[in-house]
Amino acid sequence: MKNTSILTSIACIALLITAACGYHNPYVYTGPDKSIYITSWKNRTSELQLESEIYQSLLQWFQKSSSLRVVSEKDGADLILGGEIVSIDLPSLSYSSNNTTREVKLKLRIRYILKDLKSGEILFQEPDTVRTEEYVISSNNSITNTNEDEAREIIIDELSQDIYRQTLLALNPPE
């Protein structure tokens, strides 16, 4: 009981110190309301629905902001976010003693751009970036497929989070 009281006191003191020093989270957009149109990314791979998975993940990240609103039409939007899935590759990383693949690195090559539609200014762009995530190959195809799906989900979520952060920083640069 005594430890809980001490931990609560420490947490309150830390909160007061943080608030008093003027700290603000750079990943929270505090400017005027903006609307963003997210295009359907061009998918140059044979992975069906990969562009849809990226769109849904971006949508989830952008819904975290109360000042940024995702719109379904380009007309009237303040910003446009577009991208392209260039390639997906699955090179082997390690092999077992009988020379079968044990681990694979999923490599997703993409490019994307955020543009202010009112001014025509490019706020940021990544003309060629590769995201990677390793996963283990199993003798059970179902487990291998699950591992690959999880690796792809990690890449997509981290990509979406980075794009969201880059957008917030572009709209609300640190002082």
pLDDT of 11 over the 70 cut? no
pLDDT of 65 over the 90 cut? no
CA gap 69, 76 in Å, rounded:
12
Beta strand spans in the chain (E): 34-38, 42-43, 68-71, 79-89, 92-95, 101-116, 122-136
For residue 40, being part of any structural domain is answered with yes
Place of tokens 């390793």: 134
Closest CA to 166 of 16, 3, 29, 2: 29
For residue 2, being part of any structural domain is answered with no
pLDDT at 173: 77
Per residue in 78-102, pLDDT (tens digit) is 999 999 999 999 876 656 666 667 8
pTM here is 0.80
pLDDT at 90: 82
The residue segments making up the domain with residue 41 are: 29-171
For residue 12, being part of any structural domain is answered with no
| Residues 110/129, Cβ–Cβ less than 8 Å | yes
| Residues 151/107, Cβ–Cβ less than 8 Å | no
CA gap 4, 172 in Å, rounded:
38
For residue 5, being part of any structural domain is answered with no
Per residue in 147-160, pLDDT (tens digit) is 999 999 999 999 99
Per residue in 33-61, pLDDT (tens digit) is 999 999 999 999 999 999 999 999 999 99
- For residue 151, the domain's CATH number is 3.40.50.10610
Extract the tokens encoding 164: 């969201």
CA gap 13, 20 in Å, rounded:
10
Closest CA to 113 of 88, 84, 86, 75: 84
For residue 34, being part of any structural domain is answered with yes
For residue 17, being part of any structural domain is answered with no
What are the backbone angles phi and psi of residue 158, rounded to the nearest 5°? -65, -40
CA gap 137, 150 in Å, rounded:
13
- Split at pLDDT 50, 70, 90, the class of 12 is low
- When divided into structural domains, the chain yields a total of 1
For residue 4, being part of any structural domain is answered with no
For residue 72, being part of any structural domain is answered with yes
Extract the tokens encoding 163: 């794009």
Mean pLDDT of the chain: 86
